[in-house]
Amino acid sequence: MKKMTCIEDLRRAAHRKVPRAFFGYAEAGSYSEETLRANRADMERVRLRQRVLIDVSERDTSTKILNEKASLPLALAPIGIGGLQYGNGEIHACRAAQAAGIPYTLGTMSICSIEDVAGAVEKPFWFQLYVMKDRGFARSLIERAAAAKCSALVLTVDLQILGQRHADIKNGLSVPPSLKIRNLIDMATKPAWVYRVLTGKRWTFGNLAGHVKGEEGVTALAEWIAHQFDPTLNWKDVEWVRSIWPGKLIIKGILDVEDAKLASKIGVEGIVVSNHGGRQLDGGASSISILPKIADAIGSDIEILFDGGIRSGQDLMRALALGAKSCMIGRAYIYGLGAGGQAGVARAIEIIRKELDVTMALTGVRTVDEIDRRTLVS
């Protein structure tokens, strides 16, 4: 892992080690991937302002996220099927995040269940929720997250209808799944991956285990999930979640100023400015282009997190300068997970930490609180 100097190095390693179908699932965007590309292109257009002759001998990257101490203004975002990137992947990622002193978010569509992860780590983590048509199931997930002492609930609101991802269909990760012969051959050429996955706690969606009566196979569960995304989802559902969740609530998937204003009035602790990593509305705006508008509108009223295109400490600083209090990474740590499990995720976090630290020094910044638009070229 020490030879991995940047997130792209981890990406290349994961590409070699993870079967094509699952690597493609993590990397792909929806439809023509315009929004996926825009997340990176627009991020790279944000220019940092170099400053000199400022004493930056003592720097501090620590901050608070939702009033909890963190070593970095960074959290690991929820991802689906992490346990198929690396056996017990969600546990490995959570351990790495907690060792680094930052939050980890377990996804609803994880391989390891809430209870699996809670029993394998020492501290509370965040849980991400989809409100599905089966409100009883959604309530049960909230109750399980509370029982596991999850410290925040991340309610994702931009997946009421699934955006088509061409790569998944071509790789057989459709509904129902139909892995191609070439994918099975590809898996056979990666025996280390096969061994880790087969010896992991689970091979299918852990949080759904036992819920779909008599249907434990991945095909049946995938079909059930596909019919559970709810196009009727609305602000009253957010109020319902707020009424039964006892802890901190974050809404993820806000990409419009009006929606941000509504969220700030509904009584949640934070929002995540996000376009689902370019995996939903294709042709929509990049997350970074919308962030400053939302920050200007509600930045003093609610805590703003950012998600979409973070691949480096420089990107992290760009988002902070444009109004985010902290950021989430998805693909950046998935690459680390596929490349080397817990050690790979730890390396991804460390790469971003070091890059942020150096970037702070070269822009004349000593603490995270000092990062604002004055650190950017106008």
Q: List all residues 6 or more positions away from 224 whose beta carbon is below 8 Å from its beta carbon.
A: 208, 212, 215
Please give the Cα distance from 163 to 274 (Å, whole number). Answer: 15
Strand partners, 155: 129, 251
The 303-307 sheet, strands edge to edge: 74-76, 326-329, 303-307, 270-273, 248-254, 152-156, 126-129, 105-106
From the list 92, 166, 227, 276, the catalytic residue is 276
User: Cis (ω within 30 of 0) for the bond into 176?
Assistant: yes
Please give the Cα distance from 100 to 32 (Å, whole number). Answer: 36
CA end-to-end span of the chain, whole Å? 37
Please confirm, yes or no, whether 15 is among the known catalytic residues: no
Please give the Cα distance from 147 to 140 (Å, whole number). Answer: 10
Answer for the pair 146, 117: CB distance below 8 angstroms, yes or no. no
The backbone region for 28, taken as left when phi is positive above 0, alpha when psi lies in -120 to 50, beta otherwise, is beta
Residue by residue, pLDDT tens for the chain (378 residues) are: 889 999 999 999 999 999 999 999 999 999 999 999 999 999 999 999 999 999 999 999 999 999 999 999 999 999 999 999 999 999 999 999 999 999 999 999 999 999 999 999 999 999 999 999 999 999 999 999 999 999 999 999 999 999 999 998 888 876 556 677 888 899 999 999 999 999 999 988 999 988 876 655 666 777 788 889 999 999 999 999 999 999 999 999 999 999 999 999 998 999 999 999 999 999 999 999 999 999 999 999 999 999 999 999 999 999 999 999 999 999 999 999 999 999 999 999 999 999 999 999 999 999 999 999 999 998
Label residues 278-304 b or e (16+ Cβ within 10 Å = b). bbbbbebbbbbbbbbbbbeebbeebbb
Backbone angles phi, psi at 261, to 5 degrees: -65, -40
Answer for the pair 132, 226: CB distance below 8 angstroms, yes or no. no
Residue 215 CB coordination number (10 Å): 12
